[in-house]
């Protein structure tokens, strides 16, 4: 069976690497970027089944990227998981297509994998 | 200086001030990024399937990130009045100071696949400053440059001088900064919003404001020159007249 594809967008490359490692280990196909501008190109090229992202991104910023994703019919349905250490509530981000919010300071790698599995289920 | 197409802001003392409670909230936000990374790296180390090389790499990342967190904590947590009491102004060799900054930051840059260099010049000017304080300010600029730089070109420490002042700048090649950067930062800190500089995600900006505060204590000032492909954060310090007395 073909593994689901996850795009990781995180401004800190070492943190992004941790997310990527956890997801690859769980069997997902993973690509990652640290910049909101390149993220949109990567979405077009990689066609992810889910997106894991931070909110404080280099370039256009996380909210702009979420808005951009929502504005196209082919990307609006891609489930998004936000990993952030800032105080942000899921309800605030639901209009932007976000299905899960994880606290990047408290979560464990398994939490991230479980969240991706649940949005893909 | 060779940045004619840029737009300069800052560099003047325009009544900057920060209330301590506001600063605390912003400082906590500033420390968030390295602390989150420390937690995730330590969790990663618990994975028993890791190879020796990967474990070594993670350990190095942990050490460098904890050093960065400590630097940030000391920088943003220092109390201005205590610092002022301990201020030790002396003649400082600008190029030697830059080299010390490079020596401190190089391992962190290398681990991120980036580099930081001093733009060499034949004669090194002497300036008046508290050596350790000015070093802290420059290390803070360097740290900013690392996290916002694109990594395509080395970050540069640049020394320029005229008869009155010595300018030490850190040139990065990352996202541009807004023309009204200082006003925005002060507004954010005073509102306790602790939001990052637009397009420069990891900081609340309190480090920059703190750098400005510390530099002004030493009789200097801080500014930023905007470039199309990045920014130069700089300090202007008074030239030391010591040599002219010999």
CATH code of the domain covering residue B132: 3.30.565.10
B67, B71, B73, B77: CA torsion to nearest 10: 160
Q: First and final CA of chain B: distance in angstroms?
A: 29
Chain-centroid distance, C-alpha A50: 7
Of B44, B112, B202, Cβ closest to residue A18: B44
Residues 224 to 243 of B: which have CB under 8 A from any A CB?
none
Smallest CA-to-CA distance from B138 within B129, B126, B150, B125 is with: B129
Chain-centroid distance, C-alpha A88: 15
| Residue B160 DSSP code | E
| B44:A109 CB<8 A | yes
- Report the pLDDT value the prediction gives residue B244, as an integer from 0 to 100: 58
Residues of chain B with pLDDT under 50: 1-18, 21, 191-201
Domain count, chain B: 1
- For residues A86 and A56, the answer to whether their CB atoms sit within 8 Å is yes
User: B35: which 2 tokens?
Assistant: 């602390």
C-alpha span between B167 and B95 (Å, rounded): 11
B140, B142, B148, B152: CA torsion to nearest 10: -170
Average pLDDT, chain A: 90
Q: How far is B34 from chain A (nearest CA, A)?
A: 9
Q: What's chain B's Rg over C-alpha atoms?
A: 18
Residues of B with CB below 8 A from A85's CB?
Answer: 32-33, 35-36
- Report the pLDDT value the prediction gives residue B26, as an integer from 0 to 100: 61
User: B73: which 2 tokens?
Assistant: 């904590």
Q: Would strands B221-227 and B7-10 be described as parallel, antiparallel, or unpaired?
A: antiparallel
- Complex-level ipTM: 0.83
Residues 126 to 185 of B: which have CB under 8 A from any A CB?
147-148, 174-175
Query: Residue B78: which domain range?
Result: 7-245
- Report the pLDDT value the prediction gives residue B15, as an integer from 0 to 100: 38
Of B37, B65, B202, Cβ closest to residue A56: B202
- For residues B234 and B9, the answer to whether their CB atoms sit within 8 Å is no
Smallest CA-to-CA distance from A116 within A53, A34, A33 is with: A53
C-alpha span between B20 and B58 (Å, rounded): 36
Higher pLDDT, B26 or A102: A102
| A109:B148 CB<8 A | no
Residues of B with CB below 8 A from A11's CB?
Answer: 201-202
Compute the C-alpha angle A77/A78/A82, nearest 5°.
125
Q: How far is B115 from chain A (nearest CA, A)?
A: 16
Domain ranges of chain A: 5-120
C-alpha span between B127 and B123 (Å, rounded): 13
Q: How far is A19 from chain B (nearest CA, A)?
A: 9
The reply to whether B65 touches chain A by the CB within 8 Å rule is yes
The 10s digit of each residue's pLDDT in A42-88 is 999 999 999 999 887 776 778 889 999 999 999 999 999 999 887 78
Average pLDDT, chain B: 79
Does residue B1 fall inside a structural domain? no
Which pTM was predicted? 0.71
Chain-centroid distance, C-alpha B113: 19
By a Cβ cutoff of 8 Å, what residues of chain A touch chain B? Answer: 11-15, 18, 21, 54, 56-61, 85-86, 104-106, 108-109
In DSSP terms, B171 is beta-bridged to B156, B232
Q: How many CB atoms lie within 10 A of CB A103?
A: 14
Q: How far is B23 from chain A (nearest CA, A)?
A: 17
Of A15, A57, A60, Cβ closest to residue B36: A15
What is the CATH class of A5-120? Answer: alpha beta
């Amino acid at each position: 069976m073909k593994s689901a594809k996850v795009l990781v967008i995180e401004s800190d490359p070492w943190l992004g690497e941790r997310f990527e490692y956890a997801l690859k280990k769980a069997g997902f196909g993973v690509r990652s970027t640290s910049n909101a501008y390149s993220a949109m190109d990567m979405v077009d090229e990689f066609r992810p089944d889910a997106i894991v992202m931070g909110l404080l991104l280099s370039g256009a910023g996380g909210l702009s990227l979420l808005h951009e994703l929502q504005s196209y019919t082919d990307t609006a349905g891609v489930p998004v998981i936000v990993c952030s250490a800032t105080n942000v509530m899921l309800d605030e981000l639901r209009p932007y297509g976000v299905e899960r919010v994880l606290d990047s300071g408290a979560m464990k790698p398994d939490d991230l994998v479980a969240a991706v599995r649940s949005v893909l289920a | 200086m060779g940045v004619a197409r840029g737009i300069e802001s800052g560099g003047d003392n325009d009544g900057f001030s920060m209330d301590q409670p506001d600063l605390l909230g912003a400082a906590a936000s500033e420390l968030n990024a390295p602390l989150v990374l420390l937690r995730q790296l330590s969790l990663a180390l618990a994975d028993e399937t890791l190879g020796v090389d990967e474990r070594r790499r993670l350990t190095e990342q942990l050490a460098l990130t904890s050093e960065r967190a400590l630097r940030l904590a000391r920088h943003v947590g220092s109390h201005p009045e205590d610092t002022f009491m301990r201020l030790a102004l002396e003649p400082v060799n600008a190029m030697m100071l830059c080299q010390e900054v490079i020596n401190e930051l190089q391992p962190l840059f290398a681990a991120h696949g980036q580099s930081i260099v001093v733009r060499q010049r034949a004669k090194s000017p002497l300036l008046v400053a508290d050596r350790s304080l000015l070093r802290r300010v420059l290390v803070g600029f360097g740290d900013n440059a690392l996290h916002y730089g694109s990594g395509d070109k080395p970050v540069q420490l640049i020394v320029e001088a005229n008869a009155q002042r010595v300018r030490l700048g850190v040139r990065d090649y990352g996202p541009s900064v807004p023309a009204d950067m200082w006003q925005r930062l002060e507004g954010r800190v005073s509102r306790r919003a602790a939001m990052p500089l637009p397009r420069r995600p990891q900081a609340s900006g309190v480090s920059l404001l703190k750098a400005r505060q510390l530099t002004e204590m030493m009789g200097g000032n801080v500014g930023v020159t905007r470039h199309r492909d990045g920014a130069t954060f700089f300090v202007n310090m008074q030239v030391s007249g010591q040599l002219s007395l010999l």
